């Protein structure tokens, strides 16, 4: 008896709960009727200045490995690693004892050969005089003239040996071939160096510096035009960003374009030249080359946050007063009697260059369109919206 009573009570309780839940669900408001608060931006055209960006590499206009021309051991190093050196500055010295000895010997040989030449010339002059008076045999005169010529040749050979010995002696002192920055020495005092094998150091020019980058072959006409009609040196057509993304305080000029296109990549190398008085640009440094656009026509610019990407395509929402159809009890559509409502209308757009926090829109919206910039995450095409502040941005950089 008690068990049956408990079952009846449980059944009544369950029915009440289900009835209450059903009423609650029926009373819930319809989210579609709640306007989504948004902010809009009035689209307009204006002059847009932007830069095409290319990965670049800083390169020295001149760079050489320093090799010894004579062998021996290093007797002196006369620079500080990483310093700027000037053309002709003494860098290294190599033991010159044997080269000094060779030079002294060659110098002595020149003196001997010169003395022999003087004697041969005197003998020849004497025999020429005697021959004019028929006082000497013709054969003796011929021998004297041959000896004179040999003496002249010996002097020439001795002088050449002296010049070679002097050159070898000079090569024992290694000097900077041009102004530039010297690197880390690969040898120390006392190391033995060999001709054609040992690299002493590397020196590279440091002012001006080059920045190399590659462009698609389709852009060759653009860069040829810039090469043939260079902008003023102070113009910012060519600038470069350093590895820390700061702007280098100087502008560049096109030095040259490579002789041909890489057939594998379809690209060509372009070289810019920048003045580098503070040695901020270093050989091998990575950089980003910025080339200012040449198009001065007005562009449609909108905030980037208005963009919605879906499956690789780009969309924006535009606020429009739109007539939305409603459904009656018979299931047939009819125009809402309350009139137009402010709705979000989705537009497919084609984008151009991004400039700071804005982007160029090539197609998809028109001048004066109210582009939704805040609240786009909660929207779909046809969403009811409540418009807040209008944002009107000016000036693109």
Domain coordinates in residue numbering, the chain: 33-48+298-391, 52-61+204-292, 96-171
Q: SS3 of 318, please?
A: strand
- CA-nearest of 106, 110, 113, 111 to 164 is 106
C-alpha distance from residue 351 to each of 124, 161, 290, 301, 306 (Å):
96, 75, 20, 10, 12
Q: How far apart are CA 171 and CA 162, in angstroms?
A: 14
pLDDT classification of 376: cutoffs 50, 70, 90: confident
Percent of the chain with pLDDT over 70: 83
Q: Tally the residues of the chain.
A: 397
**Taking a C-beta distance cutoff of 8 angstroms, is the pair 183, 283 a contact?**
no
> Could you read off the pLDDT of 210-255 as tens digits, one per residue?
999 999 999 999 899 888 887 776 678 899 999 999 999 999 999 9
Half-sphere exposure of 305 (CA within 13 A, CB side): 12
The pLDDT of 86-113, averaged and rounded, is 95
What pLDDT was estimated at residue 311? 87
> Could you read off the pLDDT of 46-60 as tens digits, one per residue?
887 778 899 999 999
**Taking a C-beta distance cutoff of 8 angstroms, is the pair 98, 73 a contact?**
no
- Residue 237 phi/psi, 5° resolution? -65, -40
pLDDT classification of 347: cutoffs 50, 70, 90: very high
Q: How far apart are CA 226 and CA 293, in angstroms?
A: 11
- Residue 80 phi/psi, 5° resolution? -105, 130
By the 10 Å C-beta count (0-12 exposed, 13-18 middle, 19+ buried), 341 is classed as middle
* pLDDT exceeds cutoff 50 at 395: no
* pLDDT exceeds cutoff 50 at 108: yes
Q: Where are the alpha helices (DSSP H) in the chain?
A: 2-27, 97-132, 138-171, 220-228
Give just the sign of the alpha carbon dihedral 299, 302, 303, 304. negative
What pLDDT was estimated at residue 31? 53
Write out the two tokens for 344: 């979000």
Pairing mode, strands 385-391 and 36-42: parallel
Q: How far apart are CA 6 and CA 316, in angstroms?
A: 62
What pLDDT was estimated at residue 396? 40
The pLDDT of 198-202, averaged and rounded, is 95
**Taking a C-beta distance cutoff of 8 angstroms, is the pair 302, 361 a contact?**
yes
Are domains 33-48+298-391 and 96-171 of this chain identical in fold? no
Write out the two tokens for 95: 């033991």
Q: What class does CATH assign to 33-48+298-391? A: mainly beta
Angle at 136 between CA 135 and CA 137, to 5 degrees: 135
Angle at 340 between CA 337 and CA 342, to 5 degrees: 135
Q: 52-61+204-292, superfamily in CATH?
A: Efflux pump adaptor protein, beta barrel domain (2.40.30.170)
Beta-carbon contacts of 390 under 8 Å, excluding residues fewer than 6 positions away, are 39, 40, 41, 42, 370
> Could you read off the pLDDT of 20-49 as tens digits, one per residue?
444 433 333 435 568 889 999 998 888 877
When comparing pLDDT for 337 and 253, which is higher? 253
What pLDDT was estimated at residue 17? 46
Q: What is the DSSP string of 261-295?
A: -BTTTTEEEEEEEE--TT--S-TT-EEEEEEE---
The pLDDT of 365-378, averaged and rounded, is 89
CATH 1.10.287.470 fits 96-171, yes or no: yes
Q: How many CB atoms lie within 10 A of CB 330?
A: 6
What pLDDT was estimated at residue 206? 94
Q: How far apart are CA 241 and CA 286, in angstroms?
A: 9
Q: SS3 of 75, please?
A: strand
What pLDDT was estimated at residue 26? 39
> Could you read off the pLDDT of 288-308 as tens digits, one per residue?
999 987 666 788 889 989 999
pTM as predicted: 0.62
Half-sphere exposure of 92 (CA within 13 A, CB side): 31
């Amino acid at each position: 008896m008690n068990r049956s009573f408990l079952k009846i009570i449980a059944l009544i309780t369950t029915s009440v709960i289900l009835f209450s839940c059903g009423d609650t669900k029926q009373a819930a408001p319809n989210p579609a009727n709640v306007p989504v608060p948004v902010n809009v931006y009035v689209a307009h055209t204006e002059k847009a200045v932007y830069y095409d960006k290319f990965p670049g590499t800083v390169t020295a206009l001149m760079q050489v490995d320093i090799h010894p021309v004579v062998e021996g051991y290093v007797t002196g190093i006369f620079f500080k690693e990483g310093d700027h050196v000037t053309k002709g500055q003494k860098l290294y010295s190599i033991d010159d004892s044997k080269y000094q000895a060779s030079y002294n010997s060659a110098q002595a040989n020149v003196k001997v050969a010169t003395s022999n030449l003087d004697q041969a010339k005197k003998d020849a002059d004497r025999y020429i005089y005697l021959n004019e008076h028929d006082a000497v045999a013709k054969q003796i005169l011929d021998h004297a003239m041959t000896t004179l010529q040999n003496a002249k040749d010996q002097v020439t050979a001795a002088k050449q040996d002296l010049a070679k010995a002097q050159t070898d002696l000079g090569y024992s002192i290694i000097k900077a071939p041009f102004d530039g920055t010297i690197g880390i020495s690969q040898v120390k005092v006392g190391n033995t160096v060999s001709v054609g094998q040992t690299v002493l150091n590397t020196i590279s020019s440091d002012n001006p510096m080059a920045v190399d980058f590659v462009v698609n072959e389709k852009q060759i006409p653009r860069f040829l035009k810039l090469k043939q009609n260079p902008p003023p040196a102070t113009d910012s057509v060519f600038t470069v960003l350093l590895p820390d993304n700061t702007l280098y305080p100087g502008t560049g000029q096109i030095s040259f374009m490579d002789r041909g296109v890489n057939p594998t990549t379809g690209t060509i190398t372009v070289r810019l030249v920048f003045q580098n008085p503070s040695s901020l640009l270093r050989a091998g440094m990575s950089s980003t080359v910025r080339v200012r656009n040449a198009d001065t026509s007005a562009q449609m610019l909108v905030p980037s946050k208005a963009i919605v990407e879906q499956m690789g395509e780009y969309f924006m929402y535009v606020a429009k007063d739109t007539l939305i159809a409603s459904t009656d009890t018979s299931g047939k559509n009819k125009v809402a009697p309350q009139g137009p409502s402010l709705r979000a209308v989705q537009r497919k757009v084609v984008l151009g260059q991004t400039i700071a926090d804005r982007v160029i829109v090539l197609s998809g919206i028109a001048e004066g369109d109210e582009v939704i910039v805040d609240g786009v995450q909660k929207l779909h095409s046809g969403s009811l919206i409540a418009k807040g502040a209008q944002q009107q941005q000016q000036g693109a950089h």
